[in-house]
Amino acid sequence: MKPSFHFRSELLHAVDQIELCSRRKLASPYIGNDESPFRGTGMQFKEFRHYEMGDDVRHISWLTTAKTGTPTLKLYEEERELNIFLLVDTSGSSLFGSGKQRKIDMYAELIALLGLGAIKSNNNFGVLFFDQEVKQFIPPTRSKEQVLNSISFLQNLNLEKRQSDIRPALQYCFRALHNKSLLVIISDFLMPSFSNELLPLGQKHELILLQGFDDSERLLSNRGVTEICDPESGAFYLLDSESSQFRKTLTHYYSIFTSQLEETARNCRADFLPLSVQDDYLQRLVHFFSERSSAISR
């Protein structure tokens, strides 16, 4: 059994600060089409009432009117909860870290931040863990214990030599998630192209892609010759970060890789946010949602 998760003060402070929000419009024939903070999946039937002078005739239930002989309106109310659902990459590359902090450690804190943030805003929280297949599906519910159990499952999962392919996980979510949700994918996205599987989810749900990376993967921190292990294959390599050709090749690769990922996000109506293990990623995510909330209110 691995050690229990540590809720450091910076994480608890970020939970207090984060304001989860949605950009999707509420399609209400009675309340209106106002964009809303994270307060519901849409509209549900509330009641019938008699038509009164000044009411919008578009809201009349003609079937009920025909049965009763009295003009009758069909009223709706906003559903007051929403699913915040995470897809978390548990492949071998998540174990990489050039210092004390690894990508998987960052993922655990992101689960804690978004999970507790969801509970704080009275929304449901769920998680799907995946590598090249679905490892665990935890249906959305409103429970702090759900957040703790999700982190515990992640900490005790064997990630070594596991390849990454999100496509089966996306297909699973398309079938399993019936209510509109905010889907947050946490991964380094070092995997086969998945745009075809993501597109249908973007039409049904709201999507955010959180890309985790270590600075050394982009030569932002390493110098000299370094031995690294590919955690997905177990193979060892010597990398010379002082080599101009190597730096040029790696920089070109990540430029193309990032551009393709951003294009996938745009095509699938998803937001995209890269997060470095070495950065203050908790505050970056708090700021990200703050900007979204400001955009909604304008």
131 with 202, same domain? Answer: yes
- pLDDT exceeds cutoff 80 at 269: yes
d(CA 279, CA 281): 5
Mean of pLDDT values over 241-270: 86
**Cβ neighbours of 20 (radius 10 Å):** 19
Q: What is the pLDDT of residues 25-44, one digit of tens each?
A: 433 333 333 334 444 444 55
61 with 167, same domain? Answer: no
164 with 41, same domain? Answer: no
Mean of pLDDT values over 107-130: 96
What pLDDT score was predicted for residue 49? 86
Q: Which structural domain range is residue 53 located in?
A: 22-78
* Model confidence band, residue 221 (pLDDT cutoffs 50, 70, 90): low
52 with 67, same domain? Answer: yes
Q: What is the pLDDT of residues 150-182, one digit of tens each?
A: 999 999 999 988 999 999 999 999 999 988 899
Instruction: Read off φ and ψ for residue 137, nearest 5 degrees.
Output: -115, 120
What pLDDT score was predicted for residue 222? 58
Copy the structure tokens of residue 154. 């992640």
41 with 160, same domain? Answer: no
Helix 281-297 and helix 9-17, axial crossing angle in degrees, nearest 10: 0
Roughly how many angstroms between the first and final C-alpha of the chain, as a whole number?
49
14 with 36, same domain? Answer: no
Q: What is the pLDDT of residues 48-80, one digit of tens each?
A: 888 887 677 778 888 888 889 999 888 765 555
Count of structural domains, the chain: 2
- pLDDT exceeds cutoff 90 at 89: yes
What pLDDT score was predicted for residue 254? 84
Residue 4, in any domain of the structure: no
- pLDDT exceeds cutoff 70 at 121: yes
Last residue of some domain: 32, 49, 78? 78
**Angle of CA points 28, 127, 137, to nearest 5°:** 110
Question: SS3 for 212?
Answer: strand
d(CA 135, CA 133): 6
Mean of pLDDT values over 186-204: 96
- pLDDT exceeds cutoff 70 at 141: yes
Residue 291, in any domain of the structure: yes
Residue 135, in any domain of the structure: yes
Mean of pLDDT values over 3-15: 90
Mean of pLDDT values over 211-230: 73
- pLDDT exceeds cutoff 80 at 223: no
- pLDDT exceeds cutoff 90 at 127: yes
The CATH number linked to 118 is 3.40.50.410
Last residue of some domain: 78, 96, 124? 78
What pLDDT score was predicted for residue 162? 92
15 with 31, same domain? Answer: no
133 with 222, same domain? Answer: yes
Closest CA to 4 of 117, 110, 153: 153
Residues in the chain: 298
Of 74-88, 97-111, 142-156, least confident by mean pLDDT is: 74-88
201 with 225, same domain? Answer: yes
153 with 187, same domain? Answer: yes
Residue 2, in any domain of the structure: no
* DSSP calls for 91-127: SGGGG--SSS--HHHHHHHHHHHHHHHHHHTT-EEEE
52 with 194, same domain? Answer: no
33 with 148, same domain? Answer: no
139: Cβ contacts below 8 Å, ≥ 6 apart: 126, 176
What pLDDT score was predicted for residue 32? 34
